[in-house]
């Protein structure tokens, strides 16, 4: 299903939560909706599924408006964060819920449920009760139940947030695999940027009830449209400077650019900064050892700059807090944001 949302406004208890959301999801796509908690992600998917009243705007599926269509006839199935398995039913009955509503023959239902249980790697669990399941198993059942409803659009509302890291990765891979195999259109809500980048075809960044930017993971990562969008993927160094005659100059030096003249800020990620041992101008004011990588804080003319290095490189450099070093940037990786002209 192709989903198209335009200028969507939604209120909860008289407070506007979504302030004009525009979003398109292509047929067969896996879109990650990325944003901090409270930014309106859940409100957005509940609106898509028809569980909330829309104040204004439009939601279209394959060109047809969904507004006024009751939730059960939209084909938009949500897997909620709290899973919402029916506690009074067995695993089998949970998964078969939508098929029973459609009065499918029992034999067919049994086959489909068995196949779905295999798909989510829980064969033979049909007769179990919900309270006998572990957290990871409940998540699989919730996913299988949603798939059994043959969704035109599958909406996943942070369903893995309660799991430990290993299980999260496993569930993520499972979702991506099932998404591909079944040719689903999927929207995955998450606040974990790694998860979004790894799983999604495209990522939509959401903040304060608006979509900040939407694009492929690479676009979102390398070409953020704003400082907020850039900041979402971890720390970024902002270097105020000026462009003049095709050259950008800032505290870290000058390099060619294709910008119109005026004040600009260059944003450069920590991995595109390079400490130069033996050089000078910057003092090491902090070293955060993170295992495979480390973050150096270098203070000098450009202010406090964060610089990421691999653990091996750090060992080779032999830097210590208080030591002197030089600093270089990789200008090719810089993203520029126009500053309001100051007089």
Nearer to another protein, 126 or 270 (CB): 126
- If we measure between CA atoms, which residue out of 274, 314, 268 comes closest to residue 291? 314
Q: Is residue 220 a contact residue for another protein (CB under 8 A)?
A: no
Instruction: Provide the edge-to-edge strand list for the sheet that holds 303-310.
Output: 303-310, 293-300, 273-289, 324-329
Contact letters (x/-) for another protein, 63-82, by CB under 8 A? -----x-xxx-x-xxx-x-x
Q: Is residue 233 a contact residue for another protein (CB under 8 A)?
A: no
> What is d(CA 117, CA 119) in angstroms, rounded to the nearest whole number?
5
Binding residue for another protein, selected from 27, 55, 101, 330, defined by CB under 8 A? 101
Binding segment toward another protein, per CB under 8 A, in 50-58, 210-218, 237-245, 314-322: 50-58
CB of 97 to another protein, least distance (A): 6
Site for another protein (CB under 8 A): how many residues? 38
| CB neighbours of residue 55 within 10 Å | 13
Q: Is residue 102 a contact residue for another protein (CB under 8 A)?
A: yes
Helix or strand or coil: residue 146?
A: helix
Residue 85, phi-psi category: left (phi > 0), alpha (psi -120 to 50), beta (remainder):
beta
Helical axes 135-148 vs 165-182, angle rounded to 10°:
10
Q: Is residue 1 a contact residue for another protein (CB under 8 A)?
A: no
Contact letters (x/-) for another protein, 145-164, by CB under 8 A? xx--x---------------
Q: Are 3 and 61 in contact (CB under 8 A)?
A: yes
Q: Is residue 321 a contact residue for another protein (CB under 8 A)?
A: no
Q: Is residue 84 a contact residue for another protein (CB under 8 A)?
A: yes
The residues with which 153 forms a beta bridge, in sequence order, are 76
Q: Is residue 319 a contact residue for another protein (CB under 8 A)?
A: no
The two tokens of residue 233 are 């993927």
Binding segment toward another protein, per CB under 8 A, in 41-49, 278-286, 296-304, 321-329: 41-49
Strands 186-190 and 153-157: parallel
Q: Is residue 93 a contact residue for another protein (CB under 8 A)?
A: yes
Binding residue for another protein, selected from 30, 32, 41, 42, defined by CB under 8 A? 42
Q: Is residue 57 a contact residue for another protein (CB under 8 A)?
A: no
Nearer to another protein, 179 or 202 (CB): 179
Q: Is residue 34 a contact residue for another protein (CB under 8 A)?
A: no
Phi/psi for 142 (5° steps) reads -60, -40
Q: Is residue 228 a contact residue for another protein (CB under 8 A)?
A: no
Helix or strand or coil: residue 336?
A: strand
- If we measure between CA atoms, which residue out of 292, 285, 295 comes closest to residue 323? 285
Strands 3-12 and 15-25: antiparallel
Mark out the alpha helices in the chain (DSSP H runs): 41-49, 91-101, 106-119, 135-148, 165-182, 193-199, 217-222, 227-231, 311-317
Q: Is residue 86 a contact residue for another protein (CB under 8 A)?
A: yes
Binding segment toward another protein, per CB under 8 A, in 48-56, 179-187, 232-240, 256-264: 48-56
Q: List CB contacts of 231: < 8 A, sequence separation 6 or more.
A: none
Nearer to another protein, 81 or 299 (CB): 81
Q: Are 138 and 89 in contact (CB under 8 A)?
A: no
- Interface residue list for another protein (CB under 8 A): 13, 42, 46, 49-51, 53, 68, 70-72, 74, 76-78, 80, 82, 84, 86-90, 92-93, 96-98, 100-102, 106, 129-131, 145-146, 149
């Amino acid at each position: 299903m192709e989903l198209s949302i335009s200028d969507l406004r939604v209120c909860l208890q008289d407070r506007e939560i979504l302030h004009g959301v525009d979003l398109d999801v292509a047929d067969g796509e896996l879109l990650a909706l990325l944003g901090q908690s409270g930014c309106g992600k859940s409100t957005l998917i509940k609106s898509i599924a028809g569980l909330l009243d829309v104040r204004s705007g439009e939601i279209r599926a394959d060109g047809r408006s969904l507004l006024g269509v009751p939730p059960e006839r939209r084909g938009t199935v949500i897997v909620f964060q709290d899973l919402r398995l029916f506690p009074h039913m067995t695993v089998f009955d949970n998964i078969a819920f939508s098929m029973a509503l459609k009065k499918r023959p029992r034999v067919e239902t049994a086959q489909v449920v068995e196949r779905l249980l295999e798909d989510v790697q829980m064969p033979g669990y049909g007769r179990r009760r919900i309270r006998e399941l572990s957290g990871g198993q409940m998540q699989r059942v919730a996913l299988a139940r949603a798939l059994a409803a043959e969704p035109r659009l599958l909406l996943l509302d942070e369903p893995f947030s309660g799991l430990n890291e290993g299980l999260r990765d496993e569930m993520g891979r499972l979702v991506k695999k099932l998404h591909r195999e079944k040719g689903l259109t999927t929207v995955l809500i998450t606040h974990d940027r790694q998860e979004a980048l790894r799983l999604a075809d495209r990522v939509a960044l959401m903040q304060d009830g608006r979509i900040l930017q939407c694009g492929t993971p690479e676009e979102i990562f390398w070409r953020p449209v704003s400082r907020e969008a850039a900041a979402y993927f971890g720390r970024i160094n902002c270097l105020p400077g000026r462009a003049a005659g095709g050259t950008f100059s800032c505290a870290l030096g000058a390099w060619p650019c294709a910008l119109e003249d005026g004040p600009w800020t260059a944003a450069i990620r920590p991995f595109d900064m390079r400490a130069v041992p033996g050089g000078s101008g910057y003092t090491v004011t902090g070293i955060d050892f993170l295992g495979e990588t480390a973050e150096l804080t270098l203070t000098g003319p450009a202010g406090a700059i964060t610089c990421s290095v691999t653990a091996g490189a750090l060992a080779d450099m032999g830097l210590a807090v208080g030591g002197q070093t030089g600093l270089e940037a990789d200008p090719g990786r810089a993203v520029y944001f126009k500053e309001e002209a100051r007089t």
